[in-house]
Amino acid sequence: MKITTQPLSRRAFISGTLAATALAGVPVLHAEGLAPRRKIKIGFVGCGRRGFWIAKLFRQHGGYDPYAVADYFPGVAESKGKDLGVAPQRCFSGLSGYQRVIDSGVEAIVLELPPYFFPSYAYAAVEAGLHVYMAKPVAVDVPGSLTILECGRQATAKRRCFFVDYQMPTDPVNIEIRKRILEGALGEFAWVETIGFSGHLPDPPKTATIESRMQNLIWCNDIALGGDYVVNYDIHAVDAALWVLGQRPVVAMGASRICRPRPHGDSRDVCQVVFEYANGLVHNHRSQALNAENVADPNLTAKIYGRQAYAELVYYQTKSILRGGEKSMAGKVENLYQLGAQRNIATFYDNIVTDYFDNEIVPRAVDGCLTCILGREAAARHTRLAMDELLRENKRWEVDLTGLKV
């Protein structure tokens, strides 16, 4: 899985991220409510639980023609391809399945698989001139994150769309609250808190190859495959915070631990991180991935405290709120898991058919990923770690693919 890209200077990298898109929101759906103009021939790579669910949403949209599928497991590729109406000869499997989808004649590709594979797969798709729609997180390490940043730039240069599927910034209530915050509703920011609470996933004993870790979300337990819970799950809340703040942190410190019974992967179940920003803003992040009756319900929340008011953007909880001051409001956030994905699928379609190739979501997606990686590393090392230091380390997490079907 070696990737070769043009090297980025540190100055070019820093100047090309959030600083250039501080006030950028989610791409606008330019032709909302209109019937699809044409069919986009699309391929799906990764047909597991969410991958197949997303593929069905693409088909339901009406503007996409499911043309090819790939999954590492042949049975999955064949059965899900059949359900989507894909011809058997275009249902591919093994590690090379993604390349066969790219070569099949599709116009766009959807990537829904362990994020370790995202940078190399996305890079190949952009090189081939395809539009790319992918899940988060965009990578598990710094080199992968930088590759995705370059993919976004190259996609724009080639007049192609590159989209990352975050749902919180699609919600109308969250959008309105962010708008009011940027208009000054909170006053000067005081501090930020993000929360990522989830249940942990099955973590069975490892086998001779990693094949057994590549299904049923088991890969979430392995940092090299999934990035850790703070990178893979909590990133929704962290992304929402960066969406509002328009900057990424410069330093993190924290602690984390594994406390699930009989762990076999190295992802942490509990993590506490304090981020610091260049302007002095403090950001506390709480994370847990535990299965127990006394554990709180799933929670993805970004709280922004200002001198004048307070705001809370949510994913699962009932309402997002802005409390205090003249711009106070509250609104129900409904079924964001599905509606957010449907909005993103519609936006991706509209961006393609209206030739909108700014791909402004990519720098924020990369900064969110780097922020979570910074938090993961600072907490695992029980130390204070600067973003500049993390970037200089440029550590790549490798996965042993020995014995897997090509």
Report the pLDDT value the prediction gives residue 317, as an integer from 0 to 100. 77
Residue 132 predicted with pLDDT over 90: yes
Domains of the chain, earliest start first = 13-167 (3.40.50.720), 169-344+368-393 (3.30.360.10)
Residue 270 predicted with pLDDT over 50: yes
Report residue 365 as tokens: 């997606």
| Confidence grade of residue 2 (pLDDT, cut at 50, 70, 90) | very low
Report the pLDDT value the prediction gives residue 318, as an integer from 0 to 100. 84
Residue 69 predicted with pLDDT over 60: yes
* pLDDT tens, residue by residue, 33-66: 456 789 999 999 999 999 999 999 999 999 999 9
Residue 180 predicted with pLDDT over 80: yes
Report the pLDDT value the prediction gives residue 295, as an integer from 0 to 100. 64
- β-pairing verdict for 329-332 and 319-323: antiparallel
In our burial notation (b when 16+ CB lie closer than 10 A, e otherwise), range 302-325 reads bbbebeebbbbbbbebeebbbebe
Give one DSSP letter per residue of 80-92, joined into a string.
HHHHHT--GGGEE
- DSSP symbol at 143: H
- Residue range 273-282: mean pLDDT, rounded: 98
CA–CA gap between residue 198 and residue 339 (Å, rounded) = 20
Report the pLDDT value the prediction gives residue 92, as an integer from 0 to 100. 98
Residue 9 predicted with pLDDT over 80: no
Q: Which segments within 103-161 are labelled E, that is strand?
A: 108-111, 131-134
pTM above threshold 0.85: yes
Residue 17 predicted with pLDDT over 90: no
Report the pLDDT value the prediction gives residue 200, as an integer from 0 to 100. 81
Contact in structure between 298 and 337 (CB atoms under 8 Å): no
Residue 3 predicted with pLDDT over 60: no
Per the model's pLDDT, the better-predicted residue between 400 and 9 turns out to be: 400
* pLDDT tens, residue by residue, 283-336: 999 999 987 665 668 899 999 999 999 999 999 978 999 999 899 999 999 999
Which residues does residue 302 pair with via DSSP β-bridges, in sequence order? 194, 313
- Residue range 254-274: mean pLDDT, rounded: 96
Contact in structure between 295 and 286 (CB atoms under 8 Å): no
Report the pLDDT value the prediction gives residue 97, as an integer from 0 to 100. 98
Sheet containing 64-71: order of strands = 91-93, 64-71, 40-45, 108-111, 131-134, 162-164
- β-pairing verdict for 310-314 and 299-306: antiparallel
- Residue range 377-395: mean pLDDT, rounded: 98
Q: At what angle do helices 235-245 and 172-182 cross, to 10 degrees?
A: 40
3 state DSSP class of 191: strand
Give phi and psi for 49, each to the nearest 5.
-55, -65
CA–CA gap between residue 165 and residue 251 (Å, rounded) = 26
φ/ψ bin of 62: left (φ > 0), alpha (ψ from -120 to 50), beta (otherwise): left
Residue 12 predicted with pLDDT over 80: no
Q: Which amino acid is present at 100?
A: R
Residue 219 predicted with pLDDT over 60: yes
Helix ranges restricted to H, 290-360: 336-353
| Confidence grade of residue 199 (pLDDT, cut at 50, 70, 90) | confident
